[in-house]
Structure 1
Amino acid sequence: MRIFTASLATETNTFSPVPTDRSSFEAAFYAPPGQHPDTPTLCSSPIPILRRRGRAEGFEVVEGTACWAEPAGLIRQDAYESLRDEILSQLDAAMPVDAVVLGLHGAMVAQGYDDPEGDLLDRVRARVGPDVLVAAEFDPHSHLTERRVKALDLFAAFLEFPHTDFEERGEHVVDLALRTLRGEIRPVVSSYDCRMIDIFPTSREPMRGLVDRVRALQGTDRILSISLIHGFMAGDVPEMGSRVVVVSDDDRPAGDRLAAELGAELFAMRGRAAMPILELEPGMDAVAEAVQRAERRPVVVSDIWDNPGGGVAGDGTHLLRALLARGHRSIGVATIWDPVAVTFAHAAGVGASLRMRIGGKCSDASGEPIDADVVVQAIVEEGWQSFRNSRVTLGRAAVVRFAGTEVDVVLITSRTQTYEPDIFTNLGVDFAGKEILLVKSTNHFHAGFAPIAADILYIAAPSTYPTNPATTPYRKMLRPIWPRIEDPFA
């Protein structure tokens, strides 16, 4: 048995002013064939899983390139095509193969390509023919197109948001692929269009209960796998929206029925699944109240829309400025993307005092820069944080403290959202001693920070993320979906 595996992934915010080129992939994560670390990235877990299982079970694995770019705006056409063709040429050299297993995201958009994953999968299928198994793992914040469904024999998405199960679901996809190759199962894919877009955190009800039920259904009554595709509202593509996928063991009627049943249940959650989100000024009152009543530190505040994981710059200053204006002087900030400020901090050195302009550089939505006297607390050539078993780069990084305060700001050059508290401790910041931790993340921070937080608040400040799909000026997404249409099934 011979299996080819590779990964090409990013999440594209088509409204973001931050472009994506090939160097964006090379700076975030790029592993040539055979050089993928034993620990996975968010979208490449099939590669180290297949490597490990191939050694243990005696089948051959041919590894192609694995790469990931931090979410941003449109991918340059030549960047996508060069990475796609690199992987396809590796597949050509590996032929003949019994299966192709890919790690994808599902929300890529490139210049000239509304559906790059569909384009890649079509080309893979054309090379291997109809009888070779083609499987993939996806992020649930993706666009499930009919083109992909036709090209794939089986696939699954992470179930959790935050995506704490990306490695578990990679193992799930690999296991289904191996069982298929051994003739134990015959996967058939069913999907259901929920005609909606919303936010579905699994860290709270009602989504928590639905995901738990989905997990219990898998492996019963010939149901092999279930995935809940949340969709990605910042991607202006024709098939943007929420869907349900059921993979059955050669039982399409049962798969279709279950997909429709779960899809109706997901649709019924519309408008009530998201975490409570406070507007900026009322949010400041809520933060002050949370700090006052907290029996321990810290209170965690999510700058929910200035989240690099959603493709924005992550250099917004609105929320930090508002906290400072309210007199808060014990804050840990993770992070502000500001390569210029990082360069100045490195040039000045640890312990240096200087006047620094921070953030507010990418667009007018970022807010005005903050000018402050700072003391450089730490500088590193390659900062990092954890996300489960994955290691996420911060690039060249620094920590600066606003003079006369306990406000420590983590400055980074490789845009990334905040995942785990070690983003602070790796740089010498005592997060447990802060009144407030200000993090730029929608919900992926929750699993790491909930155990140490006195309280968690989500606050909406201006950014380049489209937060209201009812009024977002989509040009390509023209299907009737909720909340643009109250009853899209009418």
Structure 2
Amino acid sequence: MAWGIVSACHGRSPYFRQLEHGRQQKTGRRRGGTGTTLIPTYVGQATPSGTIEAGAYAAMKQDILEGIRAALPVDGVLLALHGAGVADGTEDVEGDLALAVRALVGPGVPIAAVYDLHGNMTDAMRDACDLTLPCKLYPHTDFHDRGVEAVELLLEMIRGGLTPVTAMRRLPMLPYIVTTQDGFIPAEVNDVCRKLAAQPGVIDCSWFHGFPYADIAAPCPAVVCTTTGDAALAQRCVDEVAQWIWSHREAFRPTFPPPAQGVALALSAAEGPVVVNEYADNPGGGTPGDGTHLLRALLDANPPAGTCCFASINDAAVVAQAQRAGVGATIRVSLGGKQGRFQGAPIEADAYVKCITDGRFVNRPGSMFEGVRFDLGAMCRLIIQRVDVIVASRAEQIFDVGPFVLHGVDVTGYKLVAIKGANHFRAGYRTVAKGIISVDSEGLSTAAIASFPRERLVGEFWPLSDEVQFGGGADVA
């Protein structure tokens, strides 16, 4: 579970502007609009990684339920979840949690849930909640807007002015999903949803892109539509969107150049900086962040000094080595490639220690998670074969220029900026990059979805099989 917030709502208010979760948890303060008290009960966040340990999930679940129980009676519940959580013994974390919350508050209390669009929508998630609202944008710059929308709809339900009905349609696909920015196929799906949502009686029409790296029964896209009580309309909408996606499924099988080719293209560009992003080792998808494929290609290109920079590779041992040696020292490093066979071989090289930092920075305005404080542990800037390399003690994808600025690197002066990440960086770099080249290689988040062995998948899915049939109707709640 990448992140989650649970709030209980008392009273009636026309809208909810902002909730300062961290400070309220510490001080016990309650804020809300006129006539409304919004009670935050639990917030948790982590960089995506492996399966959640059973005891950890059980403890978080208990804290959430106890927080709500302490606030009872409540008029409504708002869940802000991810949607693709998997724990030992619990394949559907969000569905399990939502059902537990429903059992606690009873059938008469409305529950609204907002999700990351990479959630794997399940029957339990739908059945337990009155409203299901995934974010619509990738990078996910609309989290706040969807939260506000969820609160407004929740309060309308509390006032008795809304009785929603939701339809869901899953697709037998395991696509690699790219950005929703203009020019990419997910943006076209959003346009289809937007037109259907404009119809009278439709509250929301959206789709979950799914998280195809999860080894579960159905880690696939799902379309959800909520109407003002019209089940037939909800079903028509999800059927239309799902059929559109299925008809354009080949556009969800992207191809990217390998790292060496991407680096060559960037260095030959007329103007920089050109961002080269490494899909295959994206810590936002749960990878270790110490993959060496792109960095090795960059070093092999033998670029001139001051033209290329890279952020960041996860290697706490190398950071500690730099700390011991101190700024100005030259050290022999074995960098990256330590956390699995997909990560590539370590890079053996001499490295000049340019600077050492505490790894703390704040995401800048306009980027995803703007204003969020990050702490990647001790970090350092090394110069290896004339390339500036940022090394971190923890895995994290790059959202904006913050990690570079922390280490005295102005990316606007470089020809090539290499980063780890899939798409979230696009928000922070939209005014910086003169071009973006995505590269793919072996790795735990490679675009080659069909390359991963699966034990829990139920049924046939495209592109694992090109013989998959798609038909039938929607599920309505």
Please classify the TM superposition score into its range, dividing by the shorter chain length.
Answer: 0.7 to 0.9
Q: How much does 1:210 deviate?
A: 2.7
Map residues 312-351 of structure 1 onto 2, 5 A cutoff.
312-329=287-304, 330-351=307-328
Alignment-derived partner of residue 6 in structure 1: none
- The separation in 2 between residues aligned to 1:368 and 1:67, in whole angstroms, is 34
Q: Residue 433 of structure 1 corresponds to which residue in structure 2?
A: 413
1:220 and 1:255 mapped to 2: Cα distance? 11
Q: How does 1:79-478 map to 2 (within 5 A)?
A: 79-200=56-177, 201-203=179-181, 204-218=183-197, 220-273=199-252, 276-280=255-259, 284-294=260-270, 296-329=271-304, 330-386=307-363, 387-402=368-383, 405=386, 407-465=387-445, 467-478=447-458
SS of 1:123 mapped into structure 2 = helix
Distance in 1 (alpha carbons) for counterparts of 2:351 and 2:297: 18
* Residue 366 of structure 1, CA deviation: 1.2
Aligned partners of 2:86 and 2:92 also within 8 Å: yes
Q: Does 1:10 align with 2:2?
A: yes
Q: Could you list the per-position Cα deviations for residues 227-251 of structure 1 after superposition, in whole angstroms to 9, with x for gaps in the alignment?
A: 2111111101112211100011111
Secondary structure at the residue paired with 1:452? Answer: coil
Unaligned runs of 5+ residues in structure 2 are 9-16, 472-477
Contact 1:394–1:413 under 8 Å retained in 2 = no
From the superposition, tell whether residues 342 and 181 of structure 1 become closer, same or farther in structure 2 (CA, over 3 Å).
Answer: same
Residue 377 of structure 1 aligns to a residue whose secondary structure is strand
| Contact persistence 2:117–2:134 (CA under 8 A) | yes
Q: Distance in 2 between matches of 1:166 and 1:40?
A: 13
- Is 1:278–1:459's contact at 8 Å kept on the other side of the alignment? yes
Deviation of 1:82 after TM superposition, in Å, equals 0.7
| Counterpart residue identity of residue 307, structure 1 | N
CA distance in 2, matches of 1:483, 1:275: 12
In the TM superposition, residue 448 of structure 1 has moved relative to its aligned partner by 1.9
Contact map agreement 2:168 2:225 (CA 8 A) in 1: yes
What RMSD in Å do the two structures reach over aligned CA positions?
A: 2.8
Query: Residue 380 of structure 2 aligns to a residue in which SS?
Result: strand
What is the CA-CA distance between 1:176 and the residue it aligns to? Answer: 1.3
1:18 aligned partner: none
2:302/2:385 contact within 8 Å kept: no
Unaligned runs of 5+ in 1: 1-8, 12-28
Aligned residue for 1:277, secondary structure, equals coil
SS in 2 for 1:411: strand
Please give the secondary structure, in 2, of the residue aligned with 1:262. helix
Distance 1:139 1:124 in 2: 19
Structure 2 vs 1, CA of residues 62 and 83 (structure 1 numbering), >3 Å: closer, same or farther? same
Residues 29-108 of structure 1: matches in 2 within 5 Å?
54-108=31-85
Q: CA deviation at 1:90?
A: 1.0
Instruction: Provide the C-alpha distance between the structure 2 equivalents of 1:148 and 1:32, rounded to a whole number of angstroms.
Output: 17
Structure 2 match to 1:482: 462
Native 8 Å contact 2:119 2:211 kept in 1:
yes
The range that moved more, 381-390 or 146-155, is 381-390
- Contact 1:385 1:419 survives alignment (8 Å): no
**8 Å CA contact retained: 2:2, 2:47:** yes
- Which one-letter code corresponds to 2:399 in the other structure? Y
Query: TM-score, normalization: structure 2?
Result: 0.87
Question: C-alpha displacement at 1:32, in angstroms?
Answer: 12
Cα deviation, 1:422-458, whole Å, max 9, x if unaligned, reads: 2311332111112211111111112222322222111
Q: Could you say if the C-alpha distance between residues 32 and 396 of structure 1 is closer, same or farther in structure 2, counting changes exceeding 3 Å?
A: farther
Identify if the C-alpha distance between structure 1 residues 156 and 299 changes in structure 2 by more than 3 Å, giving closer, same or farther.
same
Contact 1:346 1:398 in 2 (8 A): no
CA contact (8 A) 1:121 1:148 kept: yes
Letter matched to residue 159 of structure 1? K
Amino acid at match of 1:157: P
Residue in structure 2 matched with residue 15 of structure 1 by the alignment: none
Bigger Cα displacement from structure 2, 60-69 vs 269-278: 269-278
In 1, Cα distance between the equivalents of 2:139 and 2:459?
Answer: 28
Contact 1:64 1:90 in 2 (8 A): yes
The structure-2 alpha-carbon separation of the partners of 1:101 and 1:336, relative to structure 1 and needing over 3 Å to count, comes to same
**Cα offset, 1:371, TM superposition:** 2.4
**Deviation of 1:392 (Å):** 4.7
**2: CA distance between counterparts of 1:412 and 1:380?**
10
Asked if the contact 1:338/1:412 (under 8 Å) is kept, the reply is yes
Moved more, 389-398 or 330-339: 389-398
User: In the alignment, residue 417 of structure 1 is paired with which amino acid?
Assistant: Q
CA displacement, residues 259-287 of structure 1 (integer Å, 9 cap, x when unaligned): 1001111112212146541134xxx2343
Distance, in Å, in 2 between the alignment partners of 1:167 and 1:347 is 43
Q: For residue 56 of structure 2, what is the amino acid of its counterpart?
A: A
8 Å Cα contact 1:136/1:152 also seen in 2? yes
AA aligned opposite 1:164? T
Q: Is the 8 A contact 2:266 2:415 kept in 1?
A: no
CA contact (8 A) 1:394 1:412 kept: no
Mean alpha-carbon deviation: is it higher for 375-384 or for 178-187? 375-384
The farther-off stretch of 238-247 and 393-402 is 393-402
Runs of 4+ in structure 1 deviating by more than 6 angstroms, as ranges, are: 29-33, 38-41
Tell me the amino acid that sits aligned with residue 48 of structure 2. Answer: P
- Give the Cα–Cα distance (whole angstroms) in 1 for the partners of residues 377 and 6 of structure 2: 19
Distance 1:31 1:244 in 2: 24
Moved more, 301-310 or 369-378: 369-378
Give aligned-pair identity as a percent.
32
Equivalent residues of 2:329, 2:352 under 8 A apart = yes
Q: Distance in 2 between matches of 1:31 and 1:178?
A: 16
Q: What code does the residue aligned with 1:10 have?
A: A
How far is 1:207 from its partner? Answer: 2.2
Residue correspondences, number: 451
> CA–CA distance in 2 between the matches of 1:156 and 1:265?
20
